[in-house]
Structure 1
Amino acid sequence: MSQHQNITDVLVVGATGSIGRLVVPAAQRHGLRPRALVRDVRRAEQLLPGVELVQGDLEDPVTLRRAVVGADALVLAHGSGGDPRPDARAHVDYGGVRNILQVLDGARPRVALMTSVYATRSDVPGATPWKRRSERLLRASGLPCTIVRPGWFDRAGPTQRRLVLEQGGTADGGIARDQIAETLVRSLLTDTALGKTFELIAAEGAEPSDWAELFGALRSDESGSVDGVLDPADLPLEAEPQAVRADLDAVRSLRGTGG
């Protein structure tokens, strides 16, 4: 049986962001029923008319429990961009993933997580390890997942519609926002995307015609590893802060608790 046959209800996290608000109609086009996690319902009603909204805050786990109930899949397209706090990435990019994983109560939805083309890069000015840490949490959870690391938003011309999927953290380039949204949704519906982590950029050429082949050319993440298959080994777990290691242990302990 295909992994995606039972996916109908999709919770979109970051649904009013620039990618999330495109994920919602992309999910609808593919016959899915999106539900939007939002902090400000009134604002969301303007941005996502007619879409089911559920109020919640990524930094408040209590508010997330109701949001995840009944979701067959999650698209995690949230980000801390625009948040002026110096520790926003720790609280939102990373903390949001941690909090969602901890309120699933044994449910095992399929997950598409959007991070960044620079998630594993320590040589880029302003880079932090928080998105990479969020990826590690998701892999440690054992949930069926795909991790998408898009390049620079909007830095792709109108004729650059060919998607380039790379692994190893060395890719650099642009991508249109609608291409990111489509890839996130397609990853939920394509068996060959399962267990894959990749960087996503665009090049000159046509839209993909065979998504199974596109995802299928990638290497799978290694079973039991918290890193992507070709990620650099420059962030050893033993050197991580105690709180981060404790979060990983807590997420691992939740594996196998569901029916």
Structure 2
Amino acid sequence: MTETPTSVLVVGATGGIGRRVVAAAERHGLDVRALVRDPHRAERTLPGTQLVRGDLEQPATLTAALQGVDAIVFTHGGNGNPDAARRIDYGGVANVLHALDGRTPRLALMTSIGVSRRGAYGGSTGQLLDWKRRSERLVRASGAPYTIIRPGWFDNVGPGDELLVLEQTDTGNGGIGRDQLAEVLVRSLLTETAVGRTFELFAERGPAPSDWSGLFAALAADPSGGLDAVGDPSSLPSVAEEPDVVQQDLGRLGH
């Protein structure tokens, strides 16, 4: 059984999802820190929130920000091009995990639907999804209690779409509200049955959830000690097929 966290660091805190995660975490009584590159500028976006300076591309700047927190939510992302995906979407996760230096706080990672659909997307989109999938592997390799959420299309929802649909085949397609996603990310930190789960997240017409423990408990856990999600296809690359930097990062995490 994992302990319920009382403090959380939000990575990507000034973004469209990150700001909502900060608000949701504060509503749930968590002690919230927002990781930002420029605290003075971020004050306008997150007034009243504790801001800690750190740059995801500069590992040495992350150590102080991580001290004392017992949960981390990753909501960050680059501009969509492959280089940014490698440096930020993937690299940000790698640098935070390495800066933890073996500590294992509760983790919630936001990636995307489609990350396991190898070859389904070409060009920069396919490369972006590949790097996000690789960041998932790092989180599973870290030894920390985690939840990985693969959201559908942001805000592609209508009035009354309050029913949350959690799937584990990475074949679905649909939308999710940004506020809904933020709530699920925070609830995953506070709910024991969310640990070790990876799932796609959509919203459909129907009532909002009232039993969060039951919602997560209905999911299958990822294979113990594995690098991929329970519903991922066997055709995903082996570690030996991954880029050198991924192999090195996994090696540093014990895989």
TM-score category of the 2 structures, normalised to the smaller one = over 0.9
From the superposition, tell whether residues 86 and 127 of structure 1 become closer, same or farther in structure 2 (CA, over 3 Å): closer
Q: What's the offset of the Cα at 1:187?
A: 0.1
Task: Please name the residue that 1:146 is paired with.
Answer: 147
- Equivalent residue for 2:248, pick from 236, 239, 246: 246
SS at match of 1:89: helix
Task: Please name the residue that 1:256 is paired with.
Answer: none
**Would you say the 8 A contact 2:104–2:142 is kept in 1?**
no
Take 1:104 and 1:59, find their aligned partners in 2: how far apart are those partners?
Answer: 15
The number of aligned residues is 249
**Would you say the 8 A contact 1:13–1:74 is kept in 2?**
yes
Task: Please name the residue that 1:257 is paired with.
Answer: none
Task: Please name the residue that 1:90 is paired with.
Answer: 86
Take 1:197 and 1:232, find their aligned partners in 2: how far apart are those partners?
Answer: 14
SS at match of 2:225: coil
Task: Please name the residue that 1:10 is paired with.
Answer: 8
Task: Please name the residue that 2:19 is paired with.
Answer: 21
Task: Please name the residue that 1:172 is paired with.
Answer: 173
Work out whether 1:102 is the aligned partner of 2:98: yes
Task: Please name the residue that 2:126 is paired with.
Answer: 127
Task: Return the letter of the residue paired with 2:145.
Answer: P
Take 1:127 and 1:46, find their aligned partners in 2: how far apart are those partners?
Answer: 35
SS at match of 2:109: strand
Take 2:245 and 2:12, find their aligned partners in 1: how far apart are those partners?
Answer: 25
Take 1:217 and 1:124, find their aligned partners in 2: how far apart are those partners?
Answer: 30
Take 1:243 and 1:212, find their aligned partners in 2: how far apart are those partners?
Answer: 37
Task: Please name the residue that 2:73 is paired with.
Answer: 75
Task: Return the letter of the residue paired with 1:47.
Answer: T
Task: Please name the residue that 1:114 is paired with.
Answer: 110
Q: TM-score, with normalisation over the residues of structure 2?
A: 0.94
**Would you say the 8 A contact 1:24–1:34 is kept in 2?**
yes
Task: Please name the residue that 1:33 is paired with.
Answer: 31
Task: Return the letter of the residue paired with 1:242.
Answer: D
**Would you say the 8 A contact 1:169–1:232 is kept in 2?**
no
CA RMSD of aligned residues (A): 1.3
Q: What's the offset of the Cα at 1:242?
A: 2.3
SS at match of 1:252: coil
Take 1:106 and 1:124, find their aligned partners in 2: how far apart are those partners?
Answer: 35
**Would you say the 8 A contact 1:111–1:145 is kept in 2?**
yes
Take 2:207 and 2:246, find their aligned partners in 1: how far apart are those partners?
Answer: 42
Take 1:24 and 1:214, find their aligned partners in 2: how far apart are those partners?
Answer: 22
Q: What's the offset of the Cα at 1:252?
A: 1.8
**Would you say the 8 A contact 1:112–1:187 is kept in 2?**
yes
Task: Please name the residue that 1:48 is paired with.
Answer: 46
Q: What's the offset of the Cα at 1:243?
A: 2.2
Q: What's the offset of the Cα at 1:251?
A: 1.5
Q: What's the offset of the Cα at 1:110?
A: 0.3
Q: What's the offset of the Cα at 1:121?
A: 1.9
Take 2:82 and 2:195, find their aligned partners in 1: how far apart are those partners?
Answer: 34
Take 2:234 and 2:86, find their aligned partners in 1: how far apart are those partners?
Answer: 21
Task: Return the letter of the residue paired with 2:32.
Answer: P
Work out whether 1:221 is the aligned partner of 2:222: yes
Q: What's the offset of the Cα at 1:8?
A: 1.1
Q: What's the offset of the Cα at 1:241?
A: 1.9
Task: Please name the residue that 1:208 is paired with.
Answer: 209
**Structure 2: unaligned runs, 5 residues or longer:** none
Q: What's the offset of the Cα at 1:132?
A: 0.4
Take 2:178 and 2:153, find their aligned partners in 1: how far apart are those partners?
Answer: 9
Take 1:215 and 1:124, find their aligned partners in 2: how far apart are those partners?
Answer: 29
Q: Deviations over 1:6-32 (max 9, x none)?
A: x11100000001000000110011110
Task: Please name the residue that 2:55 is paired with.
Answer: 57
